[in-house]
Amino acid sequence: MLIDTVLRKGPYEITACADAESAILSIDREGPFDLMICDFMLPGVSGLDLIERVRSNENAHAIPILMISGHTSVVMDRAKSAGADCFLNKPFTISQLRNAVASLLARPARFSAS
């Protein structure tokens, strides 16, 4: 909820999802989105599983992904292997969040269009 609140105060339109299944449905219905932020700990499946599903989705594979987690040592490497573009350790500051989002949105597309 903090991320949602912070980013809504910026120039961003936010679609918040409660779990991985909701995120995949939103991507299929409304996407592709300009950015996805996910936590490692999600109800049902892990954020790593969500990232892998997004990366294998033909309509969403190029979405930049920011993963956040308090489990830094192992999760960061696993997140990058799964396809995360950026990782933020909890706790993070509002400026770290804003900088990560701005940086990811400024990057060229992860993959060329097929």
**Domain-embedded: residue 88:** yes
Identify the CATH number of the domain in which residue 39 sits: 3.40.50.2300
In-domain check, residue 79 = yes
Instruction: Tell me the β-bridge partners of 69.
Output: 89
Domain count across the chain: 1
Q: Is residue 112 part of a domain?
A: no
pTM, two decimal places: 0.88
Below-50 pLDDT ranges, the chain: 111-114
Residue 25 domain flag? yes
3-state class (DSSP) for residue 90: coil
67 belongs to a structural domain:
yes
**Mean pLDDT taken over the chain:** 87
The verdict on residue 108 lying in a domain is no
Q: Does residue 114 belong to any structural domain of this protein?
A: no
Question: Which pLDDT belongs to residue 68?
Answer: 94
Taking CB atoms within 8 Å and a gap of at least 24, the contacts of 96-102 are 97/3, 97/6, 97/7, 98/6, 98/7, 98/10, 100/66, 101/7, 101/12, 101/35, 101/37, 101/66
